[in-house]
Amino acid sequence: MSEKSFGMFYYLKHSKNQKDERKYVYVRITIDGDSRDMSVKRRWITDHWNSQIGRATGNNKEAKELNSYLDIITNKVYRAKSSLIDDDKPVTAETIKNILLGKGEKKHFIMEAFQQHNTQMKALVGIEFAPATLTRYKTAYDHVHNFIRWKYGKDDLEVKELDYEFISQFVFWLKTERHCGNNTAIKYLANFKKIVLECLNKNWLKRDPFWGFKTKRQKLAPVILTKEELIRITNKKFGTERLNHVRDIFLFSCYTGLAYSDVYKLRGTDIVIGIDGGKWINTTRRKTKSVTRLPLLPNALATLEKYRDHPKCVNKGTVFPVLTNQKMNAYLKEIADVCGINKKLTFHCARHTFGTTITLTNGVPIETVSKMLGHKSIKQTQHYAKIVDVKISKDMKLLKKKLERA
């Protein structure tokens, strides 16, 4: 494609009903024969104007100030032209004029884009997303908002201002000002990255600000209950109904491997008769949409039967009267204290316990465990096998000591 012809010059224009001898200064921008005129909001006297070069004549202060201002306008025109070329957008007299008048493309802002994402996610809760996922994105929104206030002193920032510095300083702020652990900070960063990728896909950003930025999750050993600890929790009689309910639902997850969100939505229709004639769970994991099919162990069956006629379950059509994840975890902490278990007990510990203490430790093949947990890849299950190996190693060391004493 041949290069477009480009020209610009300044001239004086007399306005209607103008009595003053000073005329308005205009700039004319011409590209491939198409012109646009625009006032530069200044006036000048015809007798002191050089129409050949489009500049004021004379050496007085006023003439010098006008010529200097016109040079600034000229630079703005060339910058607007370069900007359009860099963004691979059409270079016309109209597009350049719009940029100079501030009528360019709509500005896009970070928090505005984040809020739009969260609003759409809220409408999909229960369809594509769990309530806890929305809560996490809301928290991430608050963190980004507070970071922008802390670093830039503003309530929002244009999307085009996102860069490597923003990302690296945001992680630094999460760790120092918000005292987030490494993995927690990375989790919030991942939430924010989803918004950034949406902005990139909409061509609001020229370059990915995450390019070259690396993070590394710290491998944390999952909290797992031993057989003895499970028995201790099972046999404990709690003084309040709420603790008994939370204990029962938690133990059901220990013997099924279901995550909180899957237990929360579990309905009677998800309990089916399996290929062996016994009762099975047949459901879809809310998080990964993968199918989970597993036969129910006697402990899990007993818990199901215990809550079969519970009023809240009958009214809602669910299997258990499950509280919010936050409340469940708070009560599990209390249960751990009462039972003398010195571990940070959360509902997700039940899933880890099923994958190790209940299944792998008792010889269930890793392929079977992977399918029952609804993992998409056996690699997700392999870290449980490593934990079991550690337990076997410790047990064997104890056995060696006993044999040496014998």
Asked whether the beta carbons of 253 and 347 are under 8 A apart, the reply is yes
pLDDT at site 406:
65
User: Do 384 and 364 form a contact (C-beta atoms < 8 A)?
Assistant: no
Beta-carbon contacts of 261 under 8 Å, excluding residues fewer than 6 positions away, are 130, 132, 286, 287
Structure tokens given for 32: 């491939």
Q: What is the pLDDT of residue 328?
A: 92
Pairing of strands 22-31, 34-45: antiparallel
Contact in structure between 223 and 352 (CB atoms under 8 Å): yes
Report the alpha-carbon distance of residue 165 to residue 161 in Å, rounded: 10
Mean pLDDT score of the chain, rounded to an integer? Answer: 88
* pLDDT above 70 for 51: yes
Q: How far apart, in whole angstroms, are the C-alpha atoms of residue 9 and residue 207?
A: 35
Contact 283, 292 (CB under 8 A): yes
Query: Which residues neighbour 384 within 8 Å (Cβ) at sequence distance 6 or greater?
Result: 352, 355, 356, 360, 366, 369
- Which pTM value belongs to this model? 0.59
Output phi, psi for 344, to 5 deg. -80, 95
Q: Name, in order, each residue with C-beta under 8 angstroms of 78's C-beta and a sequence gap of 6 or more.
A: none
CB atoms within 10 A of CB 208: 17
Q: How far is CA 170 from CA 69, 138, 161, 198, 306, in A?
A: 40, 16, 14, 19, 49
Q: Are 250 and 329 in contact (CB under 8 A)?
A: no
Q: Work out the number of other CB atoms within 10 angstroms of the CB of residue 351.
A: 23
Domain positions in the chain are: 6-100, 110-201, 227-402
Residue 137: predicted pLDDT: 95
State percent of the chain over pLDDT 90: 49
Q: Under a CB-based contact definition with an 8 Å cutoff, are residues 367 and 375 in contact?
A: no
* Residues whose CB is less than 8 angstroms from the CB of residue 265 and which lie 6 or more positions away in sequence, other chains included: 286, 318
Indicate whether 250 pLDDT > 50: yes
pLDDT surpasses 70 at 1: no
pLDDT digit string, tens, across residues 335-368 = 999 999 999 999 999 999 998 889 888 888 888 8
Return d(Cα 172, Cα 209) in angstroms, integer. Answer: 16
pLDDT tens digit string along 210-221?
Answer: 998 998 887 777
CA separation, residue 356 to residues 17, 229, 299, 365, 395 (Å):
90, 14, 17, 11, 15
Q: What's the whole-number mean pLDDT along residues 89-95?
A: 87
Give the number of other CB atoms < 10 A from CB of residue 348: 15
Q: Do the beta carbons of residue 335 and residue 237 sit within 8 Å?
A: no
CA-to-CA distance for 39 and 176, rounded, in angstroms? 52
Which stretches does DSSP call E strand in 14-86? 22-31, 34-45, 49-50, 55-56
**C-alpha closest to that of 40 among 124, 84, 97:** 97
Q: Tell me the C-alpha distance between 253 and 373, whole Å.
A: 11
- Of residues 293 and 330, the one with the higher pLDDT is 330
**Which has more confidence, 382 or 182?**
182
pLDDT tens track for 132-185: 889 999 999 999 999 999 999 999 999 989 999 999 999 999 999 999 999 999
Q: Could you give the percent of the chain with pLDDT greater than 70?
A: 95
CATH class of 227-402: mainly alpha
Spatial separation of the C-alpha atoms in residues 247 and 54, rounded to whole Å:
86
The Cα–Cα gap between 246 and 322 comes to 8
**Res. 60 pLDDT band, cuts 50 70 90:** very high
